[in-house]
Amino acid sequence: MLLTPVHTGICNKNTDLCQKILDCITPEDGDILVISSKVCAITEGATIDLSSLSISDAAEQWAKRCGRTAAFRQAVLNETQRMHGTVIGECPLAMLCELQPEGLQEGSILAVNAGLDCSNIEKGNAIGWPKDPVRSTNALRNALEKATGKRLSVIMSDSCCRPSRLGVSAMALTVSGMEPLLSQVGREDIFGNTLSMTHEAVADQLATSANFLMGNADQMIPVVLIRDHGIPRSDFSGWVPGIQREQDIFQGLL
């Protein structure tokens, strides 16, 4: 498997993301592109001007409890409400939000600050996910395939944290053109034992590998090309499925 970082430079709301990618690389049939959710949101004009927000008492209280400005906390509350979520935890500088955005078929998404961040964006602004990540992922894949004549898959990713682990990892939010999960149920291990519950988080693991190359500082690498991977294409398009709470090993902690 070959992962190639794509250095695009700075993108803004006037950037044609498809053309920007094609200016940097020449995709081949079967390639997978992992795209940062933040660059998609930026190029779609989804930047939030924090000075334009009306600040609620709740946002003021969250700012006192978690730090950062009340305006940023208001943006987090707004995004949480937009994605039918709730705030279920907190720590210094962060609110843990459980989100159920439109179109998510199963489970929920745990996101620090509802996916919002103030890094890699002009001061006074915040940036999160595109308004409709499924549509964004499909649109980018369709545009790339139309321009190249190649069959491609696209993963939209975002950085995330793991329970009880220090450091940033990544997760796949939406996928177009491949299966996000691979069930191993019914297969045998090396000793002939039948697997009963294992599902490979294919899209999440690819997103994590890509995120290591993207970085989270000034690298300006919002896209990673994955080639020679052996992963079959499919017609899947949508949010990466979550897990029902009664099946979640972490349910007692949430």
pLDDT at 179: 95
Q: Tell me the C-alpha distance between 54 and 250, whole Å.
A: 35
pLDDT at 187: 85
pLDDT at 203: 96
Q: For the residues 191-215, what does the mean pLDDT come to?
A: 89
Looking at the structure, tell me whether residues 177 and 231 fall in a common domain.
Answer: yes
Q: For the residues 33-49, what does the mean pLDDT come to?
A: 96
Helix then strand count (H, E) for the chain reads 6, 13
Looking at the structure, tell me whether residues 176 and 121 fall in a common domain.
Answer: no
3-state secondary structure of 83: coil
Please report which helix (H) or strand (E) contains residue 170, including its range.
Answer: strand 169-178
Higher pLDDT, 164 or 115: 115
Q: Which two tokens stand for residue 213?
A: 């190359």
Q: For the residues 3-11, what does the mean pLDDT come to?
A: 94
pLDDT at 199: 80
pLDDT at 230: 92
Q: Tell me the C-alpha distance between 28 and 150, whole Å.
A: 6
Domain count, the chain: 2
Q: From residue 18, give the alpha-carbon distance in Å to each of 11, 136, 228.
A: 12, 11, 22
Instruction: Say if 252 falls within a structural domain.
Output: no
% of the chain surpassing 70 pLDDT? 96
pLDDT at 205: 96
pLDDT at 112: 95
pLDDT at 249 exceeding the cut of 70: no
From the CA atom positions of the chain, what is the Rg in Å? 19
Higher pLDDT, 119 or 203: 203
% of the chain surpassing 90 pLDDT? 75
Mean pLDDT taken over the chain: 92
Domain span including residue 189 = 1-37+155-245
- CATH no. for residue 215? 3.30.1330.100
Looking at the structure, tell me whether residues 103 and 29 fall in a common domain.
Answer: no
Instruction: Say if 134 falls within a structural domain.
Output: no
pLDDT at 254: 61
Spatial neighbors of 219 by CB under 8 A, at least 6 apart, are 5, 7
Looking at the structure, tell me whether residues 207 and 162 fall in a common domain.
Answer: yes
pLDDT at 253 exceeding the cut of 70: no
- CATH no. for residue 109? 3.90.1660.10
Q: Tell me the C-alpha distance between 133 and 106, whole Å.
A: 16
pLDDT at 252: 66
Q: Work out the pLDDT band at 101, boundaries 50, 70, 90.
A: very high
Predicted confidence (pLDDT) per residue in 157-202, tens digit = 999 988 888 888 999 999 999 999 987 787 888 888 887 777 889 9
Neighbours of 22 (CB within 10 A): 15
Looking at the structure, tell me whether residues 217 and 161 fall in a common domain.
Answer: yes
Spatial neighbors of 213 by CB under 8 A, at least 6 apart, are 3, 5, 221, 224
Neighbours of 61 (CB within 10 A): 12
pLDDT at 4 exceeding the cut of 70: yes
Q: For the residues 55-64, what does the mean pLDDT come to?
A: 96
